[in-house]
Amino acid sequence: MGTEKQLYTISIYTENNIGLLNRISAIFQRRHINIESINTSVSEIEGVSRFTILVNMDEDQIKKILGQIEKQVEVIKAYYHTDDDTIYQESCLFKIKSDLLFEERQIQNIIKESNARIVTVNKEFFVLEKSGRRSELELLHRELNAFGIMQFVRSGRIAITKEKLKITEMLNAFKN
Partner 1 sequence: MEILTSKQKQYLEQPKERISGSEAIVRCLLAEGVEILYGYPGGAIMPVYDELYKYEGEINHVLTRHEQCAAHAAQGYARISGKVGVAMATSGPGATNLITGIADAQIDSTPIVCITGQVPSHLLGSDAFQETDIVGISTPVTKWNHQITKASQIPEIIARAFYIARSGRPGPVLVDITKDAQFEEFDFQYKKCTGVRSYVPVPETEEGSVAAAAAIINAAKKPMIVWGQGVILSKAEEVLKAVVEKTGIPAAWTILGASAIPTSHPLNIGMVGMHGNYAPNVLTNECDVLIAIGMRFDDRVTGKLDEYATQAKIIHFEIDPSEIDKNVKTDVAVLGDAKTSLTKLLTLLNTNSHPEWLQKFKDLYTIEYDKVIKNDLHPTTEGLTMGEVLKEINIQTKGEAAIVSDVGQHQMIACRYADFNVSKSNITSGGLGTMGFALPAAIGAKMAAPDREVVAIIGDGGYQMTIQELGTIFQNKVPVKIVVLNNEFLGMVRQWQQLFFDKRYASTEMVNPNFVAIAQGYYIEAQKVTKREDLALAVKEMIASDEPYFLEVCVEKENNVFPMVPSGASVSDIRLE
DSSP 3-state of 119: strand
Q: Assess 10 for contact with partner 1 (CB under 8 A).
A: no
Q: Assess 71 for contact with partner 1 (CB under 8 A).
A: yes
Restricting to residues 74-103, which ones interact with partner 1 according to CB under 8 A? 74-76
By C-alpha distance, which of 63, 73, 14 is closest to 43? 14
Rounded to a whole number of angstroms, the minimum distance from the CB of residue 67 to partner 1 is: 3
Rounded to a whole number of angstroms, the minimum distance from the CB of residue 85 to partner 1 is: 22
Rounded to a whole number of angstroms, the minimum distance from the CB of residue 36 to partner 1 is: 22
Provide φ and ψ at 64, rounded to 5°.
-65, -45
Q: Assess 73 for contact with partner 1 (CB under 8 A).
A: yes
Rounded to a whole number of angstroms, the minimum distance from the CB of residue 30 to partner 1 is: 7
Q: Assess 70 for contact with partner 1 (CB under 8 A).
A: yes
DSSP 3-state of 116: coil
DSSP line for 6-49: EEEEEEEEEE--TTHHHHHHHHHHHTT--EEEEEEEE-SSTTEE
Per DSSP, what are the bridge partners of residue 86? 161
Interface pick for partner 1 out of 1, 19, 135, 142 (rule CB under 8 A): 19
Rounded to a whole number of angstroms, the minimum distance from the CB of residue 161 to partner 1 is: 20
The rounded distance, in Å, linking the Cα atoms of 59 and 6 is 8
Contact positions vs partner 1 (CB under 8 A): 14-15, 18-19, 22-23, 26, 30, 63-64, 67-68, 70-71, 73-76, 171, 174-175
